[in-house]
């Protein structure tokens, strides 16, 4: 989506299917090629196909599966590519199954985490960043 929206709003669009709705918590569980996502306030039925936009600026990277955090989405993947743009941040493409997720992080963090293509990582996405404007029907 970067060519259409520019670097700041860039990210990934994922095709998914609603597999569960928890009306008590207001969360929907979406399955895609690579895992599952939890998203709030989704007005869709179980079984419906949806598309989810995940902005690169809403994705963090961890080397180990975190514990004791509020982020509900933790996706195991592998660094596929590190962008070469000039500046203090770079886009890191993470292969999560057959799906690419983009994380925009500082170059400092890339160095501190010793990120390189092929390195296993976890992509962390806050559920609340996947709001009604981020999810649409496929």
Question: Which range (36-50, 66-80, 99-113, 121-135) has the least confidence?
Answer: 121-135
Query: What percent of the chain is modeled with pLDDT above 90?
Result: 77
> Which tokens is 46 given?
């179980």
Q: Which residues pair with 22 in a beta bridge?
A: 27
The residue segments making up the domain with residue 128 are 2-137
Residue range 110-120, pLDDT digits in tens: 999 999 999 99
- The mean pLDDT of the chain is 90
Number of domains in the chain: 1
Residue range 57-90, pLDDT digits in tens: 999 999 999 999 999 999 999 999 999 878 899 9
> Which tokens is 130 given?
């996947």
Residue range 6-40, pLDDT digits in tens: 556 689 999 999 999 998 999 999 999 999 999 99
- For residues 109-132, give the mean pLDDT: 93
In Å, how far are 31, 51, 63, 123, 134 from 19, measured between CA atoms? 6, 14, 28, 21, 18
CATH number, domain with residue 104: 2.40.50.100
pTM of the prediction? 0.88
């Amino acid at each position: 989506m970067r060519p259409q929206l520019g670097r700041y709003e860039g990210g990934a669009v994922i095709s998914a299917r609603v597999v569960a709705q928890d009306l008590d918590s207001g969360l929907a569980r979406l399955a895609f090629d690579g895992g599952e996502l939890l998203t709030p306030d989704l007005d869709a039925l179980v079984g419906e196909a949806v598309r989810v936009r995940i902005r690169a600026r809403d994705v963090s990277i961890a080397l180990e599966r975190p514990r004791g955090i509020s982020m509900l989405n933790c996706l195991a993947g592998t660094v596929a590519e590190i962008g070469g743009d000039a500046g203090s941040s770079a886009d890191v493409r993470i292969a999560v199954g057959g799906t690419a997720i983009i994380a925009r992080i500082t170059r400092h963090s890339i160095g501190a985490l010793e990120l390189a293509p092929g390195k296993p990582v976890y992509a962390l996405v806050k559920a609340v960043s996947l709001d009604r404007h981020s999810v649409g029907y496929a």
